[in-house]
């Protein structure tokens, strides 16, 4: 009897040890959950879509401030270059139209991006359902996802962009005149937009324009010649999609005068950033930002000479 009890106890101990070892040796699962986040804005449904993240050497890219100042501001947020930077797009369901604002990079900006379409599907939608696509500007990380193998990824969508964007980035003459290291931006824009041009589905607008009820294009030129932000309003609630009005939250919210080498015209881009910061902080509406950590939706509060970023309160409703 004693021997039986001993054997049972020993067996239980060995089993516990084996289970414990199995737990300790379990391989790391890696990866993240599907990259989408949803919130309501009045009667409109807003879905943030992650295209992935990319490492940026922001200490080399940010301009308008000494490098040691940039490094100090990064350190305040426990960051150092390269900074892993989100690339976000935004899907708006107005109830009558499904609108995508920016389409991610696909393969035009490195192997860690190109997830937007997969995340759109994971969120419950299909590319064929998208009615309209609004482009903040034609840099590759905002338009690369529009086309694949020379064909539209969103076959039923009309693409809208400020006429100055197409006039610049889709111009062979301007590409020929551009510096060698900038030609890829033109080539990416042409590869992404030309399938829609050929299908008669690129519909430019000029300056401030209501595109569908509740969504208005607002010029914010400087980062590129036709850079545009999009104001979305429903039942007294407002969100403005900023595109590349700013890039590095840890630096440019604290010091809005800091610019970036990607700007076509930094002297024009900086006052646009200051204007939109001030308006968002004064009125308290939401903003959605392409390169703020996903989902990139939040509000601003004035804080001394700069601003504090307040991420949207998380919701599962």
* The pLDDT of residue 13: 52
Residue 166 CB burial class (10 angstroms; 0-12, 13-18, ≥19): buried
Q: Which of 80, 29, 73 is nearest to 55 (CA)?
A: 80
- For domain 35-311, is the CATH number 3.30.1360.40? no
SS3 content of the chain, % helix, strand, coil (to 5): 35, 30, 35
Query: Under 8 Å CB-to-CB from 278, ≥6 apart: which residues?
Result: 302
DSSP string, 189-202: HHHHHHHHHHTT-B
pTM score, whole prediction: 0.91
How does pLDDT run along the chain (317 residues), one tens digit per residue?
444 544 555 555 544 545 555 556 889 888 877 799 999 999 999 999 999 999 999 999 999 999 999 999 999 999 999 999 999 999 999 999 999 999 999 999 889 999 999 999 999 999 999 999 999 999 999 999 999 999 999 999 999 999 999 999 999 999 999 999 999 999 999 999 999 999 999 999 999 999 999 999 999 999 999 999 999 999 999 999 999 999 999 999 999 999 999 999 999 999 999 999 999 999 999 999 999 999 999 999 999 999 999 999 998 87
* The pLDDT of residue 170: 98
Domain-wise residue ranges, the chain:
35-311
Would you say 157 and 131 are in contact if contact means Cβ atoms under 8 Å apart?
yes
């Amino acid at each position: 009897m004693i021997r039986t009890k001993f054997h049972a106890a020993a067996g239980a101990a060995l089993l516990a040890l084996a289970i414990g070892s199995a737990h300790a040796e379990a391989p790391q699962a890696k990866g993240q959950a599907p990259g989408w986040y949803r919130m309501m804005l009045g009667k409109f449904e807003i879905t943030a879509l992650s295209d992935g993240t990319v490492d940026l050497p922001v200490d080399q890219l940010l301009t308008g401030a000494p490098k040691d100042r940039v490094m100090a501001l990064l350190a305040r947020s426990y960051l150092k270059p390269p900074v892993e930077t989100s690339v976000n797009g935004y899907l708006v369901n107005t109830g009558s139209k499904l609108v995508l604002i920016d389409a991610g990079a696909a393969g035009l900006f490195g192997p860690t991006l190109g997830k937007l379409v997969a995340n759109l599907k994971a969120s419950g939608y299909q590319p064929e359902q998208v009615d309209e696509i609004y482009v903040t500007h034609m840099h590759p990380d905002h338009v690369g996802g529009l086309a694949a193998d020379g064909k539209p990824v969103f076959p039923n969508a009309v693409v809208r962009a400020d006429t100055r964007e197409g006039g610049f980035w889709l111009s062979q003459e301007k590409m020929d005149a551009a510096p060698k290291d900038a030609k890829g931006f033109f080539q990416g824009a042409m590869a992404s937009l030309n399938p829609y041009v050929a299908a008669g589905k690129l519909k430019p607008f000029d300056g401030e324009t209501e595109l569908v009820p509740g969504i208005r294009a607002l010029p914010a030129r400087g980062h590129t010649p036709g850079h545009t932000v999009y104001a979305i309003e429903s039942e007294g609630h407002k969100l403005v999609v900023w595109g590349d009005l700013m890039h590095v939250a840890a630096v440019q919210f604290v010091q809005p005068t800091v610019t970036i080498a990607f700007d076509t015209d930094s002297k024009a881009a900086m006052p646009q950033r200051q204007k939109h910061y001030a308006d968002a902080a004064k009125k308290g509406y939401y903003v959605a930002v392409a390169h703020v950590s996903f989902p990139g939706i939040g509000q601003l509060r004035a804080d001394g000479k700069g601003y504090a970023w307040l991420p949207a309160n998380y919701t599962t409703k």
